[in-house]
Amino acid sequence: MSRLTIVAVGALALVSPAAAQQEPQMLRAVRDLPGDLVRDIAAGAEVSQFDPQRFPDLREFNARRVIQVKCGSVREEYWSELQRINNISLTLDESLGDRAYTIRWPACLYLEQDVEAVVQPNESAFKIYERLLGDKPSKAMVIDFFGADSLDQIKSVQPGDKLPVKRRSRISTILPVNPFLGRKLTMMTERAGHFSDPQLRAVQAAVASVRQPEMVIAAGYTASTGTIEEPLECADAMAPTDLTRQRVASAYRYARERLADLQSSRVPVEVMIVDNGFLGGAKTFAGFMANPGFPGKHYARYTGGEIGPTLFNGTVPPWIAAPEPFHAVAGHGTHVAMLALGGPDFLPKVSELTADDTNTFLRLSFINVGNGKDVLLPNSSGELRDQLAYSNFRVVNMSIEYQDDADATVREDFRYIFTNRANANKLFIVAAGNDAKVANDRFPAAFGGEGKSNVIAVGAVRQDGVVAQFSNWGPTVDFAAPGCGVESIINHRYERLKLSGTSQAAPQVSFVAAMLHTLGGMTPSEIKTRLLVSGSLLANPKAADPTGGRKPTAVRSRSQLDAERAFYLFDDVLELADGRRYLGTIKEVNKLTCKIDEAPVPQAKEALWAFKRDASQAWVFPGRSSASFQTPCAWEESPDASVIFEATRQITENGPKPLGPDEEALIHKPLGEVFYVVARHR
C-alpha cells in the first residue's frame, strides 16, 4: 500500500501581458465558453503531440474521443482549427491509427456539458457547484446550474443521489504563443472579479512544503529500518487450500458452459497494475521477455515489446532492474501483479481456464509510479489522469495511497479519473490503506463507497473472517479480501514472500473482477454489485481476542470476497445452514423484513440481491429492482420468514452436478435454516 503526503509543484502566478507568451496560465472555465475564445486558444496557444510509448492505445481512438478527453466536449471552432493547423481533412469518427502521433493537437479549456453529479456525504447544492466548477456561486447561479425553479427543489438531496447539471470543468494549463491571446486571457481573469458572471477563473498551484511522498509497502513495514514485521493478528494466516482453488475453478468453468448455453461469448480483458514497477520480465533486443514463472502470454504486447505505457516522456518504463541486495520494497508491484493473475499456485489453472488455443482472455499491463522505491514519483496522479483517459484498460488495480494533506490537484486528478466519460467502462479496484483509520481522507480510497459505481475500495480481512485491525475502514470502503500473510512472487528469481496489507487484498479482487468481465463483458457497475452481493459475511471479532479486529459494519457491504459464489452469476444460489448448496431459481421469499431506522420495512423478492446469515448476524441486500447495490439492512427476524427455491443442481466439491432422481427439487425452508440466498445477476 502506497502513501503520498504531498505533490511537489512550483508556484505559478498570473503573468503580465508582456510575458504572457512565455509563461503558462492555469485556468478553469466556470461558464459556457464563447466560440471566439475557443478559437483564439486553439489558434494562439502551444499545441501538443502524443508520444506512442506513453500512449500506446491512442492509435485505436478516433478524433472525437481524443477531443472529448482533452477538452471535455467537441466544439466546432476547435475542430476547424485542428484541421487548419494540420492541413488535413479528417472525420471525427474514423480510427486515427498512427496519425494519432503526428497530429498537432491544439490547446483548449476543459469543459464538459450536460453531465451527471453524484451527491457526496455532507454536500449541499452550493458545494456541488464549487466542486464541479471551482467557483463559489450565488443563489441564482446554483438554481440555473441545476435547471431548478427554486432552491427548495435541490435542498433535499441525499448522498448517492444523481443530479443532472449543466457543466463540469477542470484546471487546464494554457501556454500562449500569441501575445494577443496572452493579453486576452490575463484581462479576462483580472476582470473576472468585477463581474457576477465570470467565464474564467485563474488558479494557482499548491506550493510544496512537507516531506516527500511515501509508499507503505505492507502492514508492519518500517521505512527507517527497511524491515517488515508481520502483524500479530496475521500470525496464523494460511494459504487457500487446493480444495478452495478447485471449487473456484469449477465455478468459473461452469459459468463458461452457461455462457455458451445463453449463446454469448467470452470477452478478453486487460488489467492495468498501477504500482512501483515490475520484475517479471525485461526488455531485450528482441522485445519484452517474461522471466520464468511469469507466462508471457498473460502480458500485453505493445509496439517495441512494451508491457505498459511509459511515464514522463518515456523515461520511466513499466519494468525495473532488480536491486542488489534485493529488498521486498522493489518487488511490491511484482507481488501485486501475480495476485492479479490468481496467485502463484492458481496461475496454472487460470492459464487453462482463460486460454483459447494459444491465446488468453486475461492480460496484464503496468504503469510504474514508484520505480522500485517506497516513494511515489512526483506528479504521479497527474500522469495517471492522462494515461488512463487515453487507454482501453477494463480493470485497473491501484495499490497506492495519497494522504489527506496532498494538495488539491491530487484530489481533482482522482476525481477526474473516476468520473470522466473516457473512463466510464473501467472498473477501479483500490486498496483502502494500512493506517488503521477511516479512509475518507485517503486517496483514491476516499472515492469508494456509495458515490462511485466504478470504484471498489478494498480492506483487508484476517484468516478468521474479521476485518484486520491495521486496515482502513469506513463508508467509502466497499469490500474486503484476504490481507494476512498473502503469498506471491516477489522478484525476478521467482522467489515467494508472504506480505500482509490492503495492497495484497486489492489485486485478489481485481483478479475475480477480470474473470467476471470475460463472462460476457459486464459493465463496471454490474461487476461491483456482483462482487458485493455474492461475498461472504465478515465475522464479528471475539471479545477475548487480544489482536482486536473490526466489526463487519466497518465495511460498507459487510462482506468479503467469495470468488466461487461470484462466478455462479447465471443462477440463483441457496446455501443451507446444514452445508448443502444448490443452484436454481428463487420462486418465493415470504415475509422478509428489514430494520431501517428501527422500523420494519417489508422486502419483495424482486428487489432482493441477497440474504446472508451466520450464527451472530443476518443482513438483507436490497436494490435488485434498480440494478444497483444498496447498503444492506439488518434482518427483522421472524419464524414465518421463508424461501421457496427450485433447485436444478447441487454444488459439490467437484462443482455443480444435476439432481439425482430421488432428490427433491422444490426446497421450502425457514430463513432461520438458511445461510445464503443470492440472486442471479444475468
Handedness of CA 286, 292, 296, 302 (dihedral sign): negative
Q: For residues 134 and 408, what is the distance between their CA atoms, to the nearest angstrom?
A: 11
Give the pairing type, strands 633-635 and 618-622: antiparallel
Identify the CA nearest to 552 among candidates 569, 540, 535.
540
d(CA 381, CA 317) in angstroms, rounded, equals: 16
| Vertex 497 angle, CA 495 and 502, to 5° | 135
Name residues whose C-beta falls within 8 Å of residue 652's C-beta, 6 or more positions apart in sequence: none
Return the SS3 of 602: strand
Tally: H helices and E strands in the chain: 14, 32
Distance CA 664, CA 659 (A): 8
Catalytic residue among 327, 332, 517, 681: 332
Nearest by Cα to 473 from 552, 407, 369: 552
- CB of 620 within 8 A of CB of 592? yes
Name, in order, each residue with C-beta under 8 angstroms of 150's C-beta and a sequence gap of 6 or more. 143
Catalytic residue among 399, 488, 503, 510: 503
Longest C-alpha distance within the chain, in Å? 91
**Rg of the Cα atoms in the chain:** 26
**Under 8 Å between Cβ of 466 and 550:** yes
The DSSP element (H or E) to which 384 belongs, if any, is helix 380-389
Q: 275, 413, 435, 478: which is the annotated catalytic residue?
A: 275
* Type of residue at 587: K
Whether 332 is catalytic is: yes
Residues annotated catalytic, as ranges: 275, 332, 503
